[in-house]
Chains A and B, each alone.
Chain A
């Protein structure tokens, strides 16, 4: 389409490639999305920079540390009576978190279809996965602190920065997951009670919650790669 278009205020808009530019710079709104969704995207962009700074700092500190860095496959191994299996716990945790993204996506779908009950239960399933993830993280922390003697400020297995960065970054991520669980429960209750049918008749809030949840999952993939696979 390359013809010019006339708007309701009588302005003539160009077509073609110039039209794309004109669309972005059009009046009223830059993106045809609800405010909350646009705002969540901007927030996630900002949050990306927070995690980016955390992970960059972790890499710098790991390289400047004088003592040896503990070997992840040994530290994060778990024994079920026999030989220790490397990274088994973290594999399960990652699997759970990725699965929760699946249930979240289904909840968004059900929300837009207007199937309140299904959307609610899928959101609760997502929240339950989140709780499981945080609980397993607590178990992992307990093992490191109680069994291995790792502290925020010290680490018997080598560089003290291992404990500091690990607890700080996984803790910060765990807080994000916990906040997500609360977010899911609050929005889920509103979905179930029909709040969105009464107020605005759409379920965009479920999708906005989902954006946040998927983001927290995505961040975990990076934390997983940098902490456990490096």
Chain B
């Protein structure tokens, strides 16, 4: 029995806009409000993690100067900084924030398919954040096991926060996974099943392809984290031995016996590596749209970009053990994972070339979003190249657990996605608020952040080659560390504090512009995608007024010869334009 698509039933459905303050702004089921709730919560908790990183840098740059940072604090800061940034900021912001906002608008739908579940998703996410932050205030403080939470140390006395912190961390992760699943099922189903007339999969803006694939990765990868969280909680609370081998702790034999710590590492990285792409793929997608729009050129190789996203998503499930070369697993296993890791560089490189070719001979407008998008190409290429070092077993072994690794992953999945986050917030800010932000402040924010990034992370590569180990509270007097390593550490700290403080410019800009910004108009960037063609700015409940839009072309008709504008929105009928666009009638 064929099922009639929503786009063809739109007239039969009654739409009820919420009327009270609470249903409009708090218990809201509107995807746009939920998106903003997600984004604000994620940015807030990200700010906490940023402050933590500042504290760590203070200690590393100027050891023995700050009595309020003890070794225990330091480990707790490391752990919370990593976990918050990866999961509670980036995952939540890209999928809960941008995913929620952009999916229904870009596909021409009125909302997510299950708005009520979408609302629950946010509130469970909020609870998970609160549980996580609660651990700062319990006896013993948050866990200091490192964001990878490796057993046995994660739950043994001696590691900070083994009483309460670790349990709250695991509980918070489990809640986050529940929240993500409720949201993620919505995103996937909405993209597949609720597109408007004419919106084929191959006409989706790349933003949505990135978010779509990332959500699928999340739905398949988070189960491994969920399972390991359950088992570690049992190991901690019920005395089971899933991950715990026979251990002597403080001179006593513990009751654990026969468990497998390596099992945890496999489960964790079966989640952890796709997680890298859960963060990276939405960034890839969003940055493609930013580059194309502000270079006034169609994205180079759209189909290849889509296939690259799918290939990266598939491959990301068979590379996880490259995080475990030094875990003691079989070296032949490492050979397999080194190979797959290098293969994944192929689709990734295709994407980078296509971004650069999109810029080539484009009519580049150096707006604030464009600056961040170009900055992303630099930082991502840089971090990707060091990834090739670390993907090879023999090169990885000496570099393992040094600052080279810290530099690599901060460039590739810290700074690069954050560049896209800033670029995308600036890009869609006029649509979300109806106001334009202050361009000058935005550019100042970009240059400090971009140059500061290199001031922070370039020296870390050198520290890594020297063999300076990561996660150490203080280096003390060691022979292999020259004086320059210590002065570099000071300079890194000063740069980090400046970059951290510069984020206040961003906050100031987006908050003050809410009131004082000029009216942006419906389509300030002259973009083609559907979200810029809404009847109201910001879009009202239901997004489209009485009629759903109809899509007649792909998302990248920029600078089509013979048309009076240098962009043709997706909902402009085919016969209103010159037939020069090869992709206009492409399915």
Contacts and interface: CB of A to CB of B under 8 A. Distances in A.
User: A and B from one assembly?
Assistant: yes
Interface in A17-61: 22, 24-35, 38-39, 42-43, 45-47, 49-50, 52-54, 57, 60-61
B60 interface: no
Given A35-B194, A42-B185, A49-B220, 11 more contacts: A25-B202, A25-B587, A27-B200, A28-B5, A35-B6, A35-B114, A46-B185, A49-B224, A65-B258, A152-B240, A161-B259
Interface of B: 2-3, 5-8, 113-114, 181, 185-186, 188-189, 192-203, 219-224, 226-228, 230-231, 234, 238-242, 246, 255, 257-260, 263, 267, 270, 550-552, 574, 585, 587
Interface residues of A, number: 48
B5 A29 contact: yes
A161 B60 CA distance: 42
8 contacts: A27-B196, A28-B8, A38-B189, A49-B219, A61-B260, A67-B257, A161-B241, A164-B240
A146 interface: no
Interface of A: 8-14, 22, 24-35, 38-39, 42-43, 45-47, 49-50, 52-54, 57, 60-61, 64-67, 152-153, 159-161, 164-165, 168, 172
Given A46-B181, A159-B258, A39 B238 contact: no
B567 to A, nearest CB: 20
B257 A66 contact: yes
A26 B198 CA distance: 8
A13 B340 CA distance: 37
Contacts of A30: 192-193, 201
Contacts of B189: 35, 38-39, 42
A153 B239 contact: yes
Contacts of B255: 153
A61 B246 CA distance: 13
Given A24-B201, A30-B192, A50-B223, A153 B240 contact: yes
B258 A64 contact: yes
B157 to A, nearest CB: 18
Contacts of A164: 234, 238, 240-242
A132 B201 CA distance: 46
A9 B224 CA distance: 44
Nearest to B8: A28
A53 B181 CA distance: 17
Given A25-B202, A32-B2, A46 B242 contact: no
Given A161-B258, A164-B240, A25 B200 contact: yes
A24 B200 CA distance: 9
A28 to B, nearest CB: 4
B320 to A, nearest CB: 13
A-B pairs with lowest CB-CB distance, top 3? A28-B5, A49-B223, A153-B239
Given A152-B234, A160-B257, A57 B242 contact: yes
Contact of A43 (B6, B113, B185, B587): B185
Contacts of B231: 57, 168
A34 B2 CA distance: 9
A45 B219 contact: yes
B377 to A, nearest CB: 29
B227 A50 contact: yes
B258 A53 contact: no
Given A28-B195, A39-B113, A53-B267, A60 B587 contact: no
B191 to A, nearest CB: 9
A60 B181 contact: no
Contacts of A160: 240-241, 257-258
Contacts of B242: 57, 61, 161, 164-165
A29 B195 contact: yes
Could you say which of A13, A14, A32 has the most chain B C-beta atoms within 10 Å of its C-beta? A32
